[in-house]
Structure 1
Amino acid sequence: MARRLRPVELDFVGSAPLRLVFSAEATASPQAVYRALAEDLPGWPAWFTAVRSATPTHGGAGREVRLRGGVLFAETILATEPGERYAYRVDETNAPGLSALLEEWRITPAGSGTHVQWTFAADAPAAVRALLQIGRAGLGASFRGAVRNLDRRLARSAAQ
């Protein structure tokens, strides 16, 4: 059963009790990476293997994301800055223990490609925060694999 989380705003990305920040490089342009993140939600499962489905909701102001393993997130999109930033907060989830969650993707030019930074900003009881810290390496590996997959996908699309 989904539980409602505490609504947070963009400033939470800097003030959350738990902030996990990961980064990776892509050869695709910042605009192409942004389009894949913000405009091609149904395409997420093709490159982010943890995602089973991603669907726009509320006329594009929200998303419903289902992860493999059954976790569900109902989200509100908070920032859409083409080629720069995409951020959303989780309003409802069936994942236990979380009280607030915001994710921010920062996209910046890097040489002839793109630097992608993902911040997972959360609030939860101390025990849940400790578990998330323990799982940090796995989250980071999942993120880096997703960026590699996305980069390959965008390269194939550009070649066609």
Structure 2
Amino acid sequence: MARGLRSLRRVELDFFPSAPVRLVFADEIAATPEAVYRALADDVAGWPRWFTAVTSARSTRQGAGREIRLKGGTRFVETVLAAEPGVRYVYRVDGTDAPGPRALLEEWRLTPVPGGCRVQWTMAADGPAPLRIAMRLGRRGLARAFAKAVANLERLLARSTTP
């Protein structure tokens, strides 16, 4: 584990339905699932351009992992568990300096809709009661951050496809 980070439980995809906390956010944008997937999985370093809570992001282990830094300095070391182009991108947090979480798993699911794509972000977490309560209470803030990130991503993708 990277220095200063504590290890989290190594959950797998079956953690989503059993997680003590599961937050789901969704929105539709005018971009193809393939374009959104490329921004999520292929251009990890580009995340700070559209997800403003992310200050730095880099792919590790030839795309099998990621290192993420958020505003305020929180760090995450992650393992990519599922990378299905145009469909979904799932990663598990293996280590963090954030207090509280015992397990974290996130999924970005992409579904074609007329004129674009439905983007769904699911966070599944386990931790002590104060963390679970804080995550539930923080749902509105996370929803706003997600909506802003998806709107930024839509603008970024629109600019990249404009001739």
Q: Say whether the fold is shared (TM-score over 0.5).
A: yes
Specify the alignment match of 1:85 in structure 2: 88
| Among 30, 33, 36, the residue aligned to 1:30 | 33
Specify the alignment match of 1:110 in structure 2: 113
Shift of 1:2: 0.9
CA distance in 2, matches of 1:41, 1:59: 12
CA distance in 2, matches of 1:15, 1:84: 22
Deviations 1:64-120 (CA, angstroms, capped at 9, x unpaired) = 000011000000000000000000000000000000000000000011100000001
Asked if the contact 1:24/1:144 (under 8 Å) is kept, the reply is yes
CA distance in 1, matches of 2:149, 2:72: 17
Specify the alignment match of 1:67 in structure 2: 70
Q: Secondary structure at the match of 1:78?
A: strand
CA distance in 1, matches of 2:107, 2:15: 10
Shift of 1:11: 1.1
Identity %: 61
CA distance in 1, matches of 2:85, 2:42: 10
Structure 1 runs not aligned, ≥5 long: none
CA distance in 1, matches of 2:152, 2:62: 28
Structure 2 runs not aligned, ≥5 long: none
Q: TM-score, normalised by structure 2?
A: 0.97
Amino acid at match of 2:146: F
Specify the alignment match of 1:56 in structure 2: 59
Q: Secondary structure at the match of 2:52?
A: coil
Q: Secondary structure at the match of 1:49?
A: coil
Q: TM-score, normalised by structure 1?
A: 0.98
Amino acid at match of 1:13: F
Runs of 4+ with >4 A deviation: none
Specify the alignment match of 2:104 in structure 1: 101
Root-mean-square deviation (Å):
0.6
